[in-house]
Amino acid sequence: MFRATMRNLLARKLRLALSAFAIVLGVAFVAGSFVFTDTLSKSFDGIVNGTTPDVGVEVNNATDPADPSGAGDVRTIPAAVLKKLQAEVPGAERVDGNVTVGNVYVVDKDGKLVGGNGPPSFAVNFNDAPSITGLPVLSVDQGRQPTGPGEIMLDEFTADQAGYKIGDTVPLATLIDQNAGLQHATLTGIVKFGEGSLQGATLTVFDTKAMQDLFFDGRDVYTDIWLTAKDGVSQQELRDEAAAVIPSDLTARTGDDLASESQDDFEQAISFISIFLLVFAGIALVVGTFLIINTFSILVAQRSRELALLRALGASRRQVTRSVLLESFIIGLVGSTVGILLGFALPPALTALMRAIGIDLQLDSLVFKPRTAILAYAVGIGVTMIAAYLPARRASRIAPVAALRDDIALPESSIRRRTLIGAIVVVLGAGFMALGLVGSGGRGAALVGLGILCVLLGVAALSPVVGRPVLQVLGRLFRPFGMVGRLATQNSLRNPRRTAATASALMIGLALVATMSVLGSSANASIDKMVKENLAADYVISNAIGAPFSPGIAQQASQVDGVESVAAYRSSPVDVDNKQIWGGAVDPEAFNQMVDATVLDGSLDDLSGSTIALDSGTADDLGASVGDTIDMDFPGSTQSVRVVATYDDNPAMGQYVVPFSVFAAAKIRPADSYVYILRDPDASPTQVRSDLEQVVKDVPTVSLKDQEEFANEFKANVNQLLFLIYALLGLAIIIAVLGIINTLALSVIERTREVGLLRAVGMSRRQLRRMVRLESIAIAVLGAVLGVVMGVVFGVVLQRAIADQGLDVLSVPYVRLAVFVLIAAFVGVLAALLPARRAARLDVLRAITTE
Amino acid sequence: MSQPATNATVPDGVAARAVNLTKVYGSGLAEVRALDGVTIDLQAREYTAVMGPSGSGKSTLMHCLAALDHSTSGEVYVGNTPLAGLSDAKLTELRRDHIGFVFQAFNLVPTLTAEENILLPLAIAGRKPDRGWFDTVIDTVGLRDRLKHRPNEMSGGQQQRVACARALVSRPSIVFADEPTGNLDSHAEEEVLGFLRRAVDEFGQTVVMVTHDPIAAAYTDRVVFLADGKVVDEMRDPNADKVLERMKTLQASEFSSTTADGV
């Protein structure tokens, strides 16, 4: 049987290549996801090890200065502690003090930020203390060390990106108050960071005194202290020695401990990327499975006489099944191998894509673990063989006597049973969705997701039945094409399973695209509504990714003529009852003018001193009401505050609002996230605007927006994500198109004699091509219509499920969805090109006399 | 006719004509001369049978006359139109508007009803059927109660009668039937052959049928015998016995010539 199998494979190269392509894409995604995350993880390990000391001393619950989403706290370690450690820790080879501050951005020659999207940008003092790798964290690569506040070194990547050479003056955007945070310094050298790259992070190096002067008002303080062990002293011993010396508000930790914490944080951060990618791999494989089932079903149908002959000659049912399975194994093997190779192209493509939406990542040499190969082969071969199993089993049931008959019908499992199972799965899915709507939060959304999966698969099973009316309506649309249209419709109806399976692949892709469209459109509508209803301010100054910026900007804006008032919003997460909530600190009087809050209980006027106003939902979760006192756990301290008001969900306010005094007491670094500006009604809008532009002109971390632009900035984020998802789902659609090509090509071969007959009785090549094209359009539009209808339902249900998380306006983008269906029709035309040409080229005489 | 008559030498009353027609497959040692200088006139309003042993070239002759195949040399006329040099589109049009076909098997489009199959050539051409003629044809083949059926709901004989009706409904200049009764039982065979006969007698159609069955040949006006790609004989007003006799001698001579050639 093996030789017969191989010969079959070789005789059908093109068809198999088409179906193997689905496997190739799916496996490429699986392998590529793993290669990508492994590579990222390895590059990051390099950074972690290069920046971890034998023992580090830091303030308790220190915040990571490299985290760009928060301003961090302002707690420091006095120089006395450094001196004490140097004098009293015998196991330390050396003890060095570090001053590290986040959110220090390099501005390039064109006035734009270098990096700043994702990877952190920070400033440190220069010291050559070694990390656990034994190498100094920093070393001078070119030029010399900086001395004094006017001099800096940059890492090579940043200097290159920004286009600065030694001796140039470099503008920096920081969080410090003066001059709206903008500093200028002369580049004195290029610093080398450990051994590896910085993964897109930017590094600005001052001398120690300059760091203290700029960021800590000249106090002789450090943010953390590194201890390097003498030979023969373990990390643990050194830690214990250090711990005995330091005051109780500081913690000493071993390098291993620090490194593993950083790695955990990182793994968590990138796990979202790998889950995201694996979801798409899953979609590609599900769609591919349909394609393979279909291809094998058709191949088996066409070969049924040959298989029956094998049976008549004495091959057992098992041998026939095995022969078909062996074919699928070989296709899976070849497809997976090509897929793995293609997987190596994914990480560079992905980094390019992420760079296009503003996330900088640099990849070192790609990491390929055996686990990646094993999983990729298991998935690729497994999926192919599972997909081939059903047709294989059906093949084995062909009666030997069929070899002698003229026309063979393959035994088909009853369509009624399939319909019943499909209906049950759909009902089950609908049930999950309903439960999800009743449930709340993440669990509700998860249930809805499960429901969506069930409905998708159920409808795919039902599609031979539900597809029929759609095809009949399409047939009516094809009427102007006369007999050609009628033949195309009939052809699409003659094998409902085949048409349905082919359309299902497209259906799944389009259902997901339509779901995302509805959600995206609803998100945009919700943003518009949110801005219109909640914002009274005329202008907003903010950072595109929500990173904090210097309070000096608000101060300068308030001095512009025609500005009535200015209110800053400083955001920070905080733990209450071990739950993290996001909110911010404001000057209540100014802020109330800018934001239209709907106060449900208490009054925002009472917001002063140790008080807090809570979002009503958050207040419910915390079990707090007006008059209660709650504890806010900041990294450095705990603040007890009294609840003075609760308000209706308001994105401009977040989950909580406190006066600035609470953040000051908590030692949160003062840095603004949003600055709201109200114009004097009598002032000229153009003049005020252009004066305000002058304030932010030199500070590329922030921009000035009116209400509409502010909304658009949010929407741009939504749309960016949407297009990323569209791009990835495009893959599923490519696979689906291949499926249509495959099905049509196989159908044309199967109907060779019919084609010959049609040509003999006078159908022109043009008409024949049109017939194939219309059938292709029918399949594509069927998939698109089913997909879009389901996608709208899914989108609406998901929107309802997460309506309380800010997505409170439903908006269905009808025009865009109609365009999707039109695109699908066009895709149908494209898919028909090859099969139609093939049909038209058939020699009439040979076709009509073919066996 | 779309093509103006370019050759006035085809006399009226000739529905199709072949002049010195040759058809060669392969080359060199593998060369097979399927047609070797066939000249024949097929008379209008006549029922002609083309007979001959397997490999005599009878099917090839029909394919060339019916614009389904190209000859190697020689000329073919359908009506006054020479086929030489016609594009595929023109040939398609010619088949659609002037030629009717009945094949041995797989004659109908399985997705269409009997009525749709019958009207297929007209529908492809985008023409309206002549209702009166359609009714006449339907009643003659006796299919009125089967019009909404699909091919798989009909017997072989019924299917073949549908095919005959389709061949006639566009009033072609000539109908070619390639072993139309090859797959039928004797009763169905009688019906189909009888219908073709009536098409000639009552409707003035022209029918050319390739067959190897003497009984089928007996329904025709004229039998043309082919052997080794040549016209070797013809017979007017045939009957089954005479045809059978003639076929036997042809087969015998072919056998002897084959052995003599030592092929």
- Does residue A1 carry a pLDDT above 80? no
Q: Do B92 and A493 touch (CB under 8 A)?
A: no
What ipTM, to 2 d.p.? 0.84
Q: For B125, which of A757, A762, A765 is closest by C-beta distance?
A: A762
Q: Give the residue from A465, A485, A464 showing the smallest Cα distance to A476.
A: A485
Chain A contact for B98 (CB, 8 A cutoff): no
> Looking at the domain assignment, is residue B40 inside a domain?
no
d(CA A384, CA A379): 8
Chain B contact for A760 (CB, 8 A cutoff): yes
pLDDT at A416: 79
**Together in a domain, A91 and A213:** yes
Residues of chain B with pLDDT under 70: 1-10, 253-263
Handedness of CA A48, A50, A55, A61 (dihedral sign): negative
Q: For B111, which of A482, A487, A762 is closest by C-beta distance?
A: A487
**Together in a domain, A677 and A713:** no
d(CA A426, CA A155): 57
Summarize the confidence of residues A399-403 as an average pLDDT: 65
Q: Do B123 and A482 touch (CB under 8 A)?
A: yes
pLDDT at A217: 85
Q: Give the CA angle between residues A447, A452, A454 to the nearest 5°.
A: 95
- Find chain B residues with C-beta within 8 A of A757's C-beta: 103, 106-109
**Together in a domain, A741 and A843:** yes
Chain B contact for A490 (CB, 8 A cutoff): yes
**Together in a domain, A472 and A581:** no
**Together in a domain, A143 and A85:** yes
For A212, the domain range is 61-248
Give pLDDT tens digits for A551-600.
Answer: 888 888 888 888 899 999 998 888 898 888 888 999 988 888 888 888 89
d(CA A339, CA A335): 6
Q: Which two tokens stand for residue B207?
A: 């029918």
pLDDT at A379: 87
**Together in a domain, A339 and A213:** no
Q: Give the residue from A551, A621, A625 showing the smallest Cα distance to A582.
A: A621
Burial call A317-326: b when 16+ CB within 10 Å, e when fewer? eeebbbbbbb
pLDDT band at A617 (very low <50, low <70, confident <90, very high): confident
Residue A282 CB contacts under 8 Å (≥ 6 apart), including other chains:
none
Give pLDDT tens digits for A701-755.
Answer: 888 988 888 888 888 888 888 887 887 778 778 878 888 888 888 888 878 888 8
**Together in a domain, A74 and A222:** yes
- Find chain A residues with C-beta within 8 A of B166's C-beta: 761
Domain count, chain A: 4
**Together in a domain, A355 and A297:** yes
Of A412, A437, A454, which marks where a domain is finished? A412
Q: Across all residues in chain A, what is the average pLDDT?
A: 84
The length of chain A is 851
Q: How many contacts, defined by CB atoms under 8 Å, are there between A and B?
A: 70
- Find chain A residues with C-beta within 8 A of B179's C-beta: none
Q: From the CB of residue B4, how many other CB atoms can be counted at a distance below 10 Å?
A: 7
Residue A98 CB contacts under 8 Å (≥ 6 apart), including other chains:
A124, A125, A127, A222, A223, A224, A225, A226
The length of chain B is 263
Is the model's pTM score more than 0.80? no
Chain B contact for A848 (CB, 8 A cutoff): yes
The answer for B 147-176 residues in CB contact with A (under 8 A) is: 166
Q: Do B103 and A767 touch (CB under 8 A)?
A: no
Q: Do B89 and A762 touch (CB under 8 A)?
A: no
Q: How far is A501 from chain B (nearest CA, A)?
A: 20
pLDDT band at A405 (very low <50, low <70, confident <90, very high): low
> Looking at the domain assignment, is residue A177 inside a domain?
yes
> Looking at the domain assignment, is residue B31 inside a domain?
no
Question: Residues B74, B21: contact at Cβ < 8 Å?
Answer: yes
**Together in a domain, A105 and A236:** yes
- Find chain B residues with C-beta within 8 A of A762's C-beta: 92-93, 95-97, 121, 124-125
Summarize the confidence of residues A764-768 as an average pLDDT: 91
Q: From the CB of residue A364, how many other CB atoms can be counted at a distance below 10 Å?
A: 13
For B237, the domain range is 45-63+88-258
d(CA A511, CA A509): 6
**From B118, which residue of chain A is nearest by alpha-carbon distance?**
A761
Question: Residues A573, A618: contact at Cβ < 8 Å?
Answer: no
Burial call B230-252: b when 16+ CB within 10 Å, e when fewer? bbbebbeebeeeebeebbeebee
Of the ranges A173-182, A322-331, A345-354, the best mean pLDDT one: A322-331
Give pLDDT tens digits for A653-698.
Answer: 888 999 999 988 888 888 888 999 999 888 888 898 998 888 888 7
> Looking at the domain assignment, is residue B7 inside a domain?
no
End-to-end CA distance of chain A: 25
Q: Which two tokens stand for residue B130?
A: 């002549």
d(CA A757, CA A848): 6
> Looking at the domain assignment, is residue A542 inside a domain?
no
Strands, E assignment, A596-655: 599-602, 611-615, 629-633, 638-647
Summarize the confidence of residues A621-650 as an average pLDDT: 89
Q: For B63, which of A484, A757, A845 is closest by C-beta distance?
A: A845
**From B110, which residue of chain A is nearest by alpha-carbon distance?**
A754
**Together in a domain, A3 and A70:** no
**Together in a domain, A219 and A300:** no
Question: Residues A169, A177: contact at Cβ < 8 Å?
Answer: no
- Find chain A residues with C-beta within 8 A of B63's C-beta: 845
Q: Which amino acid is at A805?
A: Q
Give pLDDT tens digits for A454-481.
Answer: 998 899 888 888 888 989 898 898 888 8
Q: Do A486 and B112 touch (CB under 8 A)?
A: yes
> Looking at the domain assignment, is residue B156 inside a domain?
yes
> Looking at the domain assignment, is residue A704 inside a domain?
no
Classify B19 as helix, strand or coil. strand
Domain count, chain B: 1
> Looking at the domain assignment, is residue A145 inside a domain?
yes
Helices assigned H by DSSP within A623-706: 660-665, 685-696
**Together in a domain, A2 and A22:** yes
**From A484, which residue of chain B is nearest by alpha-carbon distance?**
B124
CATH of the domain at B205: 3.40.50.300
> Looking at the domain assignment, is residue B190 inside a domain?
yes
> Looking at the domain assignment, is residue A85 inside a domain?
yes
**B67 φ/ψ sector (left φ>0, alpha ψ -120 to 50, else beta):** left
- Does residue A356 carry a pLDDT above 80? no
